[in-house]
């Protein structure tokens, strides 16, 4: 699922794809904000993303996308 994180004083959002559940991501974000700690997430390629909880402006958690196969037809 796609996760978009707005960070204070940053013109761009942090965007990543994760295999975590929405509930797990929501809990990690809530804990980071409540405890003024780091939000640490791992994307679907194994990269680690770390964002300070006190700098998070918003978090958008997308829906789990079904596997996409094939090519788009322009018609």
Sign of CA dihedral 1, 27, 45, 38: positive
**Is the pLDDT assigned to residue 66 strictly greater than 80?**
no
Tens digits of residue pLDDT in 6-17: 999 999 999 999
Lowest-pLDDT range of 20-24, 45-49, 59-63: 59-63
Q: Tokens 């909880």 belong to which residue?
A: 53
Is there a contact between 57 and 69 (Cβ–Cβ < 8 Å)?
A: no
Pick 28 or 64 by higher pLDDT. Answer: 28
Predicted confidence at residue 44, as pLDDT, reads 92
In this predicted model, what pLDDT tens digit does every residue of 42-56 receive, in sequence order?
A: 999 999 999 999 999
Question: What pTM does this model have?
Answer: 0.79
In order of their start, the domains of the chain are 2-61 (2.30.30)
């Amino acid at each position: 699922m796609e996760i978009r994180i707005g960070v204070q004083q940053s013109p761009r959002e942090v965007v990543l794809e994760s295999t975590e559940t929405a509930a797990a991501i929501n809990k990690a974000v809530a804990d980071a904000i409540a405890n003024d700690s780091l939000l640490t997430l791992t994307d679907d390629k194994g990269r680690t993303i770390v964002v300070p909880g006190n700098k998070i402006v918003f978090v958008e958690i997308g829906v789990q996308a079904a596997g996409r196969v094939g090519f788009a037809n322009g018609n």
